[in-house]
Structure 1
Amino acid sequence: MAGDKETLIGMGFDPARVEWALKSTGNRGLQPAMDHILENEGKPVPSLDSVTQTSGTSGSSGPGSMDVDEDEEDLEALRSQIDGAGAGPGPAGQEAKSLKCSQCGKTFRNTALANFHAGKSGHDQFEESTEEMKPLTEEEKKERLAELKEKMAEKRARKAVEEAAEQKANEAIKRKAGKDLNKIKEELQTKEVIKEAEQKRRDKIEDAKARAAVKAQIEADKRERAEKAAREKALREGKALPESSSAAPARPAPSTSAPSGVSGRDFKDTRLQVRMSTGGQPYTTTLPSDAPLREVAEFIAAQNLSVNVDTVTLAQHFPRKTFAPSDFSKSLRDLGLTPSAVLIATP
């Protein structure tokens, strides 16, 4: 633009460098052109035919990108440096020496500076003024230009410090987020370890109960066989029959047996050990207390191919009981098998 070119030349810049800057920045305003001139101050001016428009200079994105305080500093520096043309005839026939912003009261030497101020501040009300602004000497222009360069360097330095601080803050936020995520993972892992340890403890207790129940059952079987042999011997010898242990006061059932009272009905799960009448390794499983007895038969059939769910017979030695087919639809809780029991399966 002609106004920007005159303003820059009035600031003391070389006309050839002004034309180079305006063409390189696509005539986007005073600030981009000034940045281009300052950044390429030590470089030779190329032929304008070989100059192509760039997307902008590295220190600025145009007048509108600066803060308000920085804009005011630029305007003050430009106003004190530029010695341009007057504003034209003033009010009542007097010659206008300057333009004044009616909104902020600042005075500008020419229209280019007034437009520059309007673009940055958004002010759009100006009036002509007869106030004459003293022109600057060449030496004053150079001093003001040096001051402007120094201010621009300070702005860029501040901007670099702000960007570094912002980047550091962002990195701190990322590190904190990473630490929080790792802490959550560690807490979940700790809870999982505690849960597994608790499950192992419960399994160990249940295994101990099952082993105790099996041992009690074996002892009961031994006593029963011994009593039977003693009775048969007494009959053969014509002696009085020995007193049966069944006539003695009932022994308390082991704590591992499955009572039918209220305490047994409170258990959510039932742990079972199933022994095959044909011998072999017993099978152990845990089923919900509300599961039907048929699920026990299905479990055995899945473990032993010789077992048929519809024909298998389930019995309990202590207390002695053989479950009828109609019992298969009843729950383990209703059959008094909770919290644990030992069953004998006959294929």
Structure 2
Amino acid sequence: MATDLEQLLEYGFEKEKAELALKHGGGLQGALDWLDKNADKSIEEIKAAAATQADIDEEPPAPKEGETAQSLVCDDCKKRFRSVEQAEFHASKSGHENFSESTEEIKPLTEEEKAAKLELMKKRLVEKRAAESEADKAARKANELIRRKATKESQDIKEDLQKKERLKEAQAVKREKEAEAEAKKRVLAKLEADKAERKRKADIEKAARQGTAPPPPAPEPAAATSSAPTTSKPASAYTETRLALQTSTGRIQKSFSVDTTLFEVAHALEEGGVVVNSFTQSFPRKVYDKTDFGMTLKEAGMIPSAALIVK
């Protein structure tokens, strides 16, 4: 004949929980009552609740062998006990003090009742596991939705940053092209002015050889724009030069002494929060890195003005 533990294991109860049930119930009937009361609790919860109401409601120890069976009733909670020891155990755990004797005998479960109770508890156990499985599925689904939302938000942020970076790069390229076009325009204007000056000098020399009157001086050019270089005096006569500096934060125009080094220009920009690694002159194109920072603006030919891209 199977033991009480084997019967409980046969119906699908965990071994540790079945052993605890037999320990607290004192036999198969008490174990069934204990398992019924603790069906919704895990082993960890049962162990952690040794001093809680769950323990207070546990079935007291079974009567000792040979003890006369009698019925006692707790007037506070209406719970029945077979022995005085059981009632005392209940009182120590619950704090209940009012008990009375009862002529009603607590009859043990029949084999059919035990089997029916086991079947009922097995059904509850299956239902509980099914409910836990559904709860796990719902939790996994909720977690997956949260993960997808977080992933989409992260992708949106990444795409927005990439879009802003592309726009920033496009603006930088546009500014560089504008600076190159401006520098080219100034160089062409200077070349035209130099060409006109050479022609004027050649005409004067020709008139001197032929003994004729020199040609009238060339008319003053129209009002020059801010981008056109002045040719009213030679470069050696300038003491200052005007720089148009295109930085990542905007355009800066500033005048420096012609003896100012590129290092000093970089230092002046860095005091304003601009990091400088190199200067790029668009037309004619030339890059001045940190190895060239010892050159003065005069030595670099940046007189009377120049446009530089700061990187």
Same fold (TM over 0.5): yes
- Identify the match of residue 61 of structure 1 among 43, 48, 72: 43
1:221 corresponding residue in structure 2: 194
Which whole-Å CA distance do the structure 2 matches of 1:117 and 1:258 have between them? 107
Aligned partner of 1:179 in structure 2 is: 152
- TM-score, normalised to structure 2, is 0.57
Q: Which moved more, 1:228-237 or 1:136-145?
A: 136-145
Distance (whole Å) between structure 1 residues aligned to residue 22 and residue 149 of structure 2:
40
Counterpart contact for 1:97–1:130, Cα < 8 Å: yes
Match of 1:270 in 2: 245
**Aligned counterpart, 2:79:** 107
The answer on whether the counterparts of 1:99 and 1:108 sit within 8 Å (CA) in structure 2 is yes
User: Could you tell me whether the CA contact under 8 Å between 1:99 and 1:110 is conserved in 2?
Assistant: no
Within the alignment, does 1:165 sit opposite 2:138 as a pair? Answer: yes
Contact preservation (8 Å) 1:97, 1:133: yes
SS in 1 for 2:140: helix
Alpha-carbon distance between aligned partners in 1 of 2:135 and 2:187, rounded to the nearest angstrom:
78
Question: Which residue is equivalent to 1:257?
Answer: 228
Matched, 1:30 2:26: no
RMSD of aligned C-alpha atoms?
5.2
Aligned to 1:25, the other structure's residue is in SS state helix
The question of whether the paired residues in 1 share the 8 Å contact of 2:262 and 2:295 is answered with no
Q: Identify the match of residue 213 of structure 2 among 240, 244, 266.
A: 240
Instruction: Describe how 1:185-334 pairs up with structure 2 within 5 A.
Output: 185-245=158-218, 248-257=219-228, 269-270=244-245, 289=254, 293=258, 294-296=260-262, 309=295, 313=299
Is the contact between residue 230 and residue 242 of structure 1 (CA under 8 Å) also seen in structure 2?
yes
1:125 to 74, 92, 95: 95
The DSSP-based 3-state class of the residue aligned with 2:74 is: strand
Q: Number of paired residues?
A: 241
Q: Is the contact made by 2:72 and 2:101 (CA closer than 8 Å) also made in structure 1?
A: yes
Q: Does the C-alpha gap of structure 1 residues 223 and 301 become closer, same or farther in structure 2, counting only changes over 3 Å?
A: same
Spell out, residue by residue over 1:4-31, the C-alpha distance to the aligned partner (whole angstroms, 9 max, x if none).
xxxxxxxx98346379999x63996218
Instruction: Could you tell me which runs of 5 or more consecutive residues in structure 2 were left unpaired when the two chains were aligned.
Output: 29-40, 231-241, 265-278, 280-285
- Give 1:12-23 correspondences, 5 Å limit: 14-15=3-4, 17=6
In 2, Cα distance between equivalents of 1:13 and 1:109: 28
Q: Distance in 2 between matches of 1:125 and 1:139?
A: 36
Q: Shift of residue 257 of structure 1?
A: 2.9
1:84-95 correspondence to structure 2 within 5 Å: 85=63
Q: Cα–Cα, structure 1 residues 144 and 311, in superposed 2: closer, same or farther, change >3 Å?
A: closer
Q: CA deviation at 1:196?
A: 0.3
TM-score by length of 1: 0.52
Give the letter aligned to residue 144 of structure 2.
Answer: E
SS of the residue corresponding to residue 215 of structure 2 reads coil
Report the Cα offset of residue 146 of structure 1.
1.5
Q: Could you report, residue by residue, the CA deviation over 1:161-199 in whole angstroms, capped at 9, with x for unpaired residues?
A: 112222222222222222222222111111111110010
Q: How far apart are residue 314 of structure 1 and its match?
A: 6.4
Give the Cα–Cα distance (whole angstroms) in 2 for the partners of residues 114 and 160 of structure 1: 40
* CA distance in 2: counterparts of 1:182 and 1:221, whole angstroms: 58
Post-superposition shift, 1:203?
A: 0.6
Asked if the contact 1:85/1:110 (under 8 Å) is kept, the reply is yes
* CA distance in 2 between partners of 1:17 and 1:311 (Å): 99
What secondary structure sits across from 1:289 in the alignment?
A: strand
Q: Using the TM superposition, give the Cα deviation of residue 222 of structure 1 relative to its aligned residue in structure 2, in angstroms.
A: 0.6
Q: Deviations over 1:47-68 (max 9, x none)?
A: xxxxxxxxxxxx942552899x
Alpha-carbon shift at residue 238 of structure 1 (Å): 1.6
Q: SS of the counterpart of 1:130?
A: strand
Distance of aligned partners of 1:66 and 1:301 in 2 relative to their CA distance in 1, 3 Å threshold: closer
